[in-house]
């Protein structure tokens, strides 16, 4: 466990609604323990206190894999996201599933334990922003579920890349640079298909000039997000 961090300094957006006269006091009051993790499997605690609010991501990239009936669906989480691993346990559900966490890029998390939760209770504007973050994540999960219904796989990939670019993209003279290094396996789990199908679909997308793989294994999106996906034509269709 690393030294404590000032939440509002690591994540300034959380303090935007705090009155200017109180922001210094808020920064000093909202200090959380920090946990850092290298790439690999992350095994969060199975039991945490009742007043524990979970974790706030400060740096890095996590993958949350939900495994149901032998199929894996992946969600990516990055800076600003809230996560509560205990809430993903499937012990009390009729349909059994498993959740695995992977650190794709070295991660740093603020631990929102009972002490931090009490401090947050004194700052409603910060709590409101955290709640809005949780609601936005719910919307992203819903969009991801809708994405999985699109066909063909090339369309799923294209939509996925643009959805990811909203958070991890940067505009350059050549297009939108998507600063994520995602393997074909992870991309397959994100769009609900096998790795081989992703490889074929990626080749078609790249041949269409809409996406390019950069030398550092990140991605470059060209053009604009299609307003009407039905107008997108591919060289081939992947089941």
What secondary structure does DSSP assign to 1-57, as a single string? -EEEEEHHHH-GGGGTTS-GGGHHHHHHH-EEEEEEE-SEEE---S---TT--EEEE
DSSP 230: G
Question: In this structure, what token pair is assigned to residue 36?
Answer: 């850092």
Residue pointed to by tokens 């939509």: 159
Rg, the chain, Cα only: 20
Would 138 be classed as within a structural domain?
Answer: no
pTM of the model: 0.86
Would 146 be classed as within a structural domain?
Answer: no
Pair 7, 103 in one domain: yes
- From 96, 130, 164, the end of a domain falls on 130
* Number of domains the chain contains: 2
> CA dist 152 to 72, 107, 144, 187, 221, Å?
19, 34, 15, 15, 19
pLDDT string in tens for the chain (239-residue length): 456 899 999 999 999 999 999 999 999 999 999 999 999 999 887 667 677 899 999 999 999 999 988 889 999 999 999 998 766 555 567 788 889 999 999 999 999 999 999 999 999 999 999 999 999 999 999 999 999 999 899 999 999 999 999 999 999 999 999 999 999 999 999 999 988 999 999 999 999 888 999 988 899 999 877 664 444 444 333 33
Q: Residue 71 in 3-state DSSP?
A: strand
Its domain, for residue 79, covers 2-130
CA distance 92 to 188: 29
Q: Residue 200 in 3-state DSSP?
A: helix
Would 48 be classed as within a structural domain?
Answer: yes
């Amino acid at each position: 466990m690393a030294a404590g961090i000032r939440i509002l300094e690591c994540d300034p957006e959380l303090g935007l609604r705090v009155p200017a006269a109180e922001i210094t006091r808020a920064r000093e009051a909202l200090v959380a323990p920090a946990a850092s993790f290298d790439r690999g499997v992350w095994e969060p605690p199975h039991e945490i206190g009742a007043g524990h609010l979970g974790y706030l991501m400060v740096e890095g990239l996590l993958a949350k894999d939900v495994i149901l009936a032998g199929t894996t669906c992946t969600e990516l989480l990055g800076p600003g996201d809230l996560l509560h691993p205990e809430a993903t346990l499937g012990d009390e559900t009729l349909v059994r599933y498993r959740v695995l966490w992977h650190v794709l890029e070295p991660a740093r998390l603020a631990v929102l334990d009972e002490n931090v939760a009490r401090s947050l209770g004194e700052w409603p504007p910060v709590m409101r922003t955290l709640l809005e973050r949780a609601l936005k994540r719910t919307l992203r999960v819903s969009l991801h579920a809708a994405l999985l219904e699109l066909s063909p796989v090339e369309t799923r990939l294209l939509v996925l890349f643009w959805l990811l670019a909203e958070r991890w993209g940067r505009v350059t003279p050549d297009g939108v640079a998507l600063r994520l290094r995602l393997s074909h396996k992870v991309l397959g789990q994100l769009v609900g298909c096998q790795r081989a199908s992703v490889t074929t679909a990626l080749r078609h997308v790249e041949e269409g000039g809409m996406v390019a793989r950069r030398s550092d294994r990140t991605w470059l999106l060209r053009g604009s997000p299609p307003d009407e996906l039905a107008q997108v034509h591919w060289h081939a269709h992947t089941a």
